[in-house]
Structure 1
């Protein structure tokens, strides 16, 4: 048996700024002894993110899941919400936490985002909102979704966990819908270790959201809603401020890696790189390929081949949310209702992409995928790039 290599390559790796640059922030926190509850770094990061993202109001959270839960509370959503089965479970879990019934609709075969036609077909008298996901950071068909929402008097909350910095022709993709929710988890293009945010359309909504993330407090002795503890700490906020100094550099490197993958994988029968969805500015949060008929291996066999060389891609998203025990009894969760999503979850494989990934590593990964391309000896030589 070949012993494992010292440096396996994972699907992602957190981008970290120089440690010595973080120390002054910690010294400031130690000096003023403000650790949470909306300290100075918290307020600075909210404003800095508004400026960077091109939005007017933003409320920081301890993580993106609590932000989703609070967004639903803020808009007083009840009944049924139409959402995608092709996402991370936090999307639909946030509905269950609020006593809301998820209704799954199928996805578009090109973008893997919610298909507007399937959204409209799923609307019932109990439907109160739509929760689409900008999957892999590629924008949903926001105009079609908004038209449906307007026609049926529905709210729209975007799970924009993957969409930091993404822009369409009119500006930030986060401006669409009634609310958009970001994640700043360690795996995201912009991270604060753990964290998240809600993009608010106006100051009044931000006040309500800020109250809800602080147990519903209004002043010292008054509680007006059953809120939760969703506040971001000063350490996380300080780290976010430092991360912002390097975000453009990180995004540029991601774009280079994505372009190299596309160049190297072009023309391989049965391998399809997911295309952009019309965004003017992309963030290259993930690099998904679809292993389709015509490729000599199944998706799972290709995944295992990469693992045998200590390259840990991810079948993301697999399985569908609708296949987990707490959802599979729903009528909308049946695979016959979700043919496109069901096919995608058997074909998709996200390849490693992060700023520190080297070109030689990308080339080695592509060589392993291109079964009919480089001779095995050359492939093994390239794999030394990981050592």
Structure 2
């Protein structure tokens, strides 16, 4: 049988992209805030309910640029349950991550534990909307306001997600997105920062362009995080298809929930009430009552050509560059450790056929019967 991978990038009809490429060839503008870059930023303002959108060339640099623009120092409270870009962005900016455990209900940072981790060196909270499910934004931002902290959301998974009628990117001082090929919305590689204030956008725009203010003034240290015209043009095409992509992902998500919900030892991570999801991931929790451990099920599926993903594993707090931090000590993060040992993301992407999805479901059912 053909292998089934955990994801597959959505690609629109090639002729739609070629038409825009011809315009790039005509203009010979390849980067540096060209016309497609400006058009995509403008279109995304509506998607994110914000006039302050800054495109970047990948999600990692979106996050590091936001952190730099926020002028953080010292310690930053964050989650151990995320992709490595979250903490690496902090470390690259000379900051110390302070890990706080997650909630078992949504696998996001537990807001009830944040205040106990705040010290005189704390400058921000960097929270992750895991699988695109919203953090406890109201509680987090209340804590931040009372302690004069910045809030930056790693929203890599959250393109198009709405919460209580608002874009999830309208929360926080900054939100950082990834448009990587594996995401629900992709520009091959790419990302964006959404800033709460115009001043924040100005800071992000300066940092992403080497710190250059004009032809003769370079007042801050920056990097090169600009999105190219090729990627921006591709994003313009992708936007036209995003709602169809979301609809197809929703169908796949619904079928998984219908067919897996009754299996002993398999719990499904819920989509919270009030959330319009993008259905980027389909995580299951493989509990101790299942016939196999999570890792054994992962290997068994792989042997059948079904490539799931232990997402996120290992915990960031266990990596060698962070493991010696006091907040990373064994036993301090029991919910995150449990999630890292039990979560398995099953394949989900718009082109996943009904037959292939049934093959995945049947494989899980068969292993449940052992």
TM > 0.5 = yes
For the residue of structure 1 that corresponds to 2:331, the secondary structure is helix
Q: Which residue of 2 aligns with 1:385?
A: none
Decide which of 140, 148, 153 is 1:145's aligned counterpart: 140
CA deviations 1:181-203 (Å, max 9, x no partner) are 11000000000000000001232
Q: Which segments of 5 or more consecutive residues in structure 1 lack a partner in the other structure?
A: 377-387
Decide which of 57, 65, 77 is 1:82's aligned counterpart: 77
Is the CA contact 1:140–1:277 (under 8 Å) kept in the aligned structure 2?
A: no
For the residue of structure 1 that corresponds to 2:76, the secondary structure is strand
For the residue of structure 1 that corresponds to 2:151, the secondary structure is strand
Question: Whole-Å Cα distance in 2 between the matches of residues 291 and 65 of structure 1?
Answer: 30
Question: Whole-Å Cα distance in 2 between the matches of residues 182 and 88 of structure 1?
Answer: 13
Is the CA contact 2:133–2:275 (under 8 Å) kept in the aligned structure 1?
A: no
Is the CA contact 2:161–2:168 (under 8 Å) kept in the aligned structure 1?
A: yes
Q: How does 1:1-387 map to 2 (within 5 A)?
A: 5=1, 7-371=2-366
For the residue of structure 2 that corresponds to 1:370, the secondary structure is helix
Is the CA contact 1:335–1:342 (under 8 Å) kept in the aligned structure 2?
A: no
Cα distance 1:76–1:373, how it changes in 2: closer, same or farther (>3 A)?
closer
Deviation at 1:372, TM superposition (A): 7.0
CA deviations 1:157-195 (Å, max 9, x no partner) are 000000111111141111111111110000000000000
Is the CA contact 1:166–1:279 (under 8 Å) kept in the aligned structure 2?
A: no
Question: Whole-Å Cα distance in 1 between the matches of residues 225 and 274 of structure 2?
Answer: 31
Deviation at 1:364, TM superposition (A): 1.2
Question: Whole-Å Cα distance in 1 between the matches of residues 213 and 304 of structure 2?
Answer: 56
Question: Whole-Å Cα distance in 2 between the matches of residues 266 and 360 of structure 1?
Answer: 19
Question: Whole-Å Cα distance in 2 between the matches of residues 52 and 249 of structure 1?
Answer: 15
CA deviations 1:100-137 (Å, max 9, x no partner) are 00000000011000000121121111111000000000
Question: Whole-Å Cα distance in 2 between the matches of residues 277 and 126 of structure 1?
Answer: 33
Q: Which segments of 5 or more consecutive residues in structure 2 lack a partner in the other structure?
A: none
Deviation at 1:373, TM superposition (A): 7.4
CA deviations 1:38-96 (Å, max 9, x no partner) are 00000000001112332221000011111111111111001000000000010000111
For the residue of structure 1 that corresponds to 2:177, the secondary structure is strand
For the residue of structure 1 that corresponds to 2:224, the secondary structure is coil
**TM-score normalized by structure 2?**
0.98
CA deviations 1:199-241 (Å, max 9, x no partner) are 0123232122111100010111110100000000000000000
Is the CA contact 2:48–2:168 (under 8 Å) kept in the aligned structure 1?
A: no
Question: Whole-Å Cα distance in 2 between the matches of residues 326 and 132 of structure 1?
Answer: 20
CA RMSD of aligned residues (A): 1.3
Question: Whole-Å Cα distance in 2 between the matches of residues 110 and 302 of structure 1?
Answer: 23
Is the CA contact 1:138–1:279 (under 8 Å) kept in the aligned structure 2?
A: no
Question: Whole-Å Cα distance in 1 between the matches of residues 267 and 38 of structure 2?
Answer: 43
Is the CA contact 2:161–2:278 (under 8 Å) kept in the aligned structure 1?
A: yes
Count residues in correspondence: 370
Is the CA contact 1:367–1:373 (under 8 Å) kept in the aligned structure 2?
A: no
For the residue of structure 2 that corresponds to 1:336, the secondary structure is coil
For the residue of structure 2 that corresponds to 1:272, the secondary structure is strand
